[in-house]
Amino acid sequence: MSKSFRGRLLAAIFCAGAAGTIAAPAGAETLADAIALAYDSNPNLQAQRATQRVLDETYVQARAGFRPQLSLSSQAVYDEFRTPRAARRTGIDTNGDGIADVFVPATGSGIKRTNAGQAGLNFSQPIWTGGRTAAAVSAAEADIQSGREGLRRVEAQVMLSTIQAYVDTRRDQEGVRIRQANVNVLTEQLKESKARFDVGEITRTDVAQAQSRLAAAKALLSSAVAQLASSRASYAAIVGQNPGDLQAEPSLAYLLPANADDAFDIAEKYSPLLRAQVFAEEASRARVAAARAERMPSLSLRATYGFNGGLNPLDTGLYSRAFTGSAVLSVPIFTGGLTSSRIRQQVERNNTDKINIETQRRSVLLTVTQAWNQLIASRSNIDSTEEAVRAAKIAAEGTREEQRVGLRTTLDTLNAEQELSNDELGAAAARHDEYLAAATVLSAMGRLEAKNLIPAVTPYDPKRNFRKLRFTLGYVPWEEPIALVDRALAAPPIPQAIQRPGEAPIGPGLQPPPAAPVVAPKR
């Protein structure tokens, strides 16, 4: 853990621990500010973007099957031949034909040394791979599109986590305020009870009840402060800085559909989980075609140009030169069942991906259903809790006034204050739950994206890196017709990766609308 990040977490603890006093920055902080900061710096999102760039390279690697290969090879050979002393007069048969072909004078050393060197350029150009490379390219394209949907999913998770951290912190800040206000009221109530006890208006039991309620309220305040510190730490971990003066959450109504049926339709079209699985099925289908293409012939052109001669003494004028050109047609005949096994393997993997599409579809619809029902219930709770707060305020004020004239006991007043505090906490929790449920619905639908929430921020474009790789080092202009031939002559046909456009951005976003122009009054 870096020292700066550890410092932010400690600051979250110490700031929240000061009896609910929150150190805020100079300016107010909005949800759009928090989302923009998380979108730019969240490590999970940054890592997923890097993972997507890694995945982009698989396309270049697949396209390399259409491109030429050029290599340089060189070799130096030293040979020492030693003749036994007994064989120097009769000679030695070196090639196994029964005739002695090496004779060494008896007076010689019996050692023969030779050396040679060679160097050459090797060139190979695939002409037709039987569809193997075309299938690999299609699989890579589908994998990349699936990865982009995975990036959308992680982005939605970061957006949802940011929203949750934001509303959690606001709820807990409100909870600390309510608990602190309750402690203040009960403190005054205790002072008043002691004063009335001193003049004999109430008994010691009333004072003890006030003391008990105040002690319990202080304990609840300490718990609320600890909960706020935890929420602030979560906020700092996700957003990258401590929360300050958090403003009220802007409405998400512009992104929500009118009813549950519309939410289901949108989720089936644009859910990143479902779309990622669809692309994964397309990739596995292309790999089935690649496995079947292993049965097809392949054709390539090869050329070699090299030099061969002695190294010691080095005399390049005596070097021989050779050029060889060939067209190589390779036809698989029998592979021991390996190709058939790979085909069956890829077919079953594709069957698994097809089944998982339905699994993901049901999972997405389940998430939308649960979140939608939670949203409806939370909206009803907001109305109920706000009405309860309104009534509890009236009851608390009336009970205090009635206590002063002797119509209510101290316990009645304490109970009324407790009910008001509980109702205010319930109202804060209901607003929190409603907003979080709405964000969860949008996440399941695939609408919780930066382009919809913070349109003023330039979104990260995963296609930009892919476009740079399309014509990077290694590209040759004749690979395009080779790719067309490889795909056209494949049997069975190679499936083409399908481009599925995403949903258009939906405005106006979480940014506040521009101020209306001031119109001068007519005279």
CA 262 vs CA 144, 149, 249, 437: distances in Å: 29, 21, 24, 17
Paired tokens of 36: 């923009």
Over residues 194-202, the mean pLDDT reads 81
Model confidence at 175, pLDDT cuts 50, 70, 90, reads: very high
pLDDT tens digits, one per residue of 121-152:
999 999 999 999 999 999 999 999 999 999 99
pLDDT tens digits, one per residue of 349-396:
999 999 999 999 999 999 999 999 999 998 888 888 888 888 888 888
Q: Lowest mean pLDDT: which of 67-76, 474-483, 488-497, 512-521?
A: 512-521
Higher-scoring residue by pLDDT: 65, 201:
65
Instruction: State residue 194's pLDDT score.
Output: 85
Mean pLDDT for all residues in the chain: 84
Q: Rounded to 10 degrees, what is the CA torsion of 412, 417, 422, 423? A: 100
Rg, the chain, Cα only: 39
Identify which of 98, 78, 100, 81 has the alpha carbon closest to the alpha carbon of residue 90: 100
The rounded distance, in Å, linking the Cα atoms of 356 and 275 is: 11
Q: Would the pLDDT of 495 be above 70?
A: yes
Instruction: State residue 270's pLDDT score.
Output: 93
Q: Are 241 and 37 within 8 A, CB to CB? A: yes
Higher-scoring residue by pLDDT: 33, 411:
33
Instruction: State residue 522's pLDDT score.
Output: 46
Identify which of 361, 419, 489, 424 has the alpha carbon closest to the alpha carbon of residue 171: 424
Q: Lowest mean pLDDT: which of 33-42, 220-229, 489-498?
A: 489-498
Burial label for 347, CB within 10 Å (0-12, 13-18, 19+), is middle
Instruction: State residue 513's pLDDT score.
Output: 47
CA 21 vs CA 36, 184, 242, 244, 412: distances in Å: 26, 15, 14, 11, 31
Which segment, 94-103, 202-211, 395-404, 436-445, is predicted with the most confidence on average? 436-445
Instruction: State residue 211's pLDDT score.
Output: 87
Over residues 295-316, the mean pLDDT reads 85
Model confidence at 22, pLDDT cuts 50, 70, 90, reads: very low
Domain ranges of the chain: 29-76+116-488
Instruction: State residue 147's pLDDT score.
Output: 95
Model confidence at 288, pLDDT cuts 50, 70, 90, reads: very high
The rounded distance, in Å, linking the Cα atoms of 247 and 253 is: 18
Neighbouring C-beta atoms of residue 14, cutoff 10 Å: 11
Paired tokens of 501: 């456009």
Q: Would the pLDDT of 520 be above 70?
A: no
Task: Tell me the percentage of the chain whose pLDDT exceeds 70.
Answer: 86
Over residues 57-82, the mean pLDDT reads 88
Q: Lowest mean pLDDT: which of 100-104, 137-141, 309-313?
A: 100-104
Tell me the pTM.
0.81
Model confidence at 415, pLDDT cuts 50, 70, 90, reads: confident
Model confidence at 8, pLDDT cuts 50, 70, 90, reads: low
Instruction: State residue 232's pLDDT score.
Output: 94
Q: Are 327 and 303 within 8 A, CB to CB? A: no
The fourth-level CATH superfamily of domain 29-76+116-488 is Outer membrane efflux proteins (OEP) (1.20.1600.10)
Residue 29 is classified by DSSP as B
Q: Would the pLDDT of 49 be above 90?
A: yes
Backbone phi, then psi, for 477, in 5-degree steps?
-65, -25
Residue 520 is classified by DSSP as P
Q: Would the pLDDT of 71 be above 90?
A: yes
